[in-house]
Amino acid sequence: MSETNLHPSIQAFKQFVEQHPKLIEEARQKQTGWQPYYEKWVLLGEEDPSWQAYKAEAQTEQTETDQESAEKGNEMVSKMMGMASQFDLQKLSGHIHQLNGALDNVKHLIGQYQGVKQQLPTKKKGPTFFHKD
């Protein structure tokens, strides 16, 4: 039977087994077949802690690296929260107020410019004549 004709759950189990090489070793040593492992996998799921013993050493080290990365991320978040708590909200409010005033001035100037532009007389262009030499 080719792999494309296998049931999707069996294909998923095969991928699971490939990620747990020690499970392959145990199944070969005990010569029990894959049925008990498949049933356990269906009942417990992939995330059950009992499968950790069957993972490769490199994957275990990867999990430890992931945990260290998560700890560093948590540390960075706590530093950012500490920095945020040090902000002076009164100063920030003052800067926002100044910026708002500057924007109002720019808006006023644009309004004045548009008013002056509308008051200027527009030049009417006469018809254009083309002359032949």
Q: What is the pLDDT of residues 43-83, one digit of tens each?
A: 888 888 888 888 775 444 556 667 777 788 888 888 877 77
Confidence of residue 103 (pLDDT cuts 50, 70, 90): very high
Mean pLDDT (the chain) is 79
> CA-to-CA distance for 42 and 31, rounded, in angstroms?
20
What pLDDT score does 58 carry? 44
Kindly report whether the global pTM for this prediction surpasses the value 0.85. no
What pLDDT score does 23 carry? 86
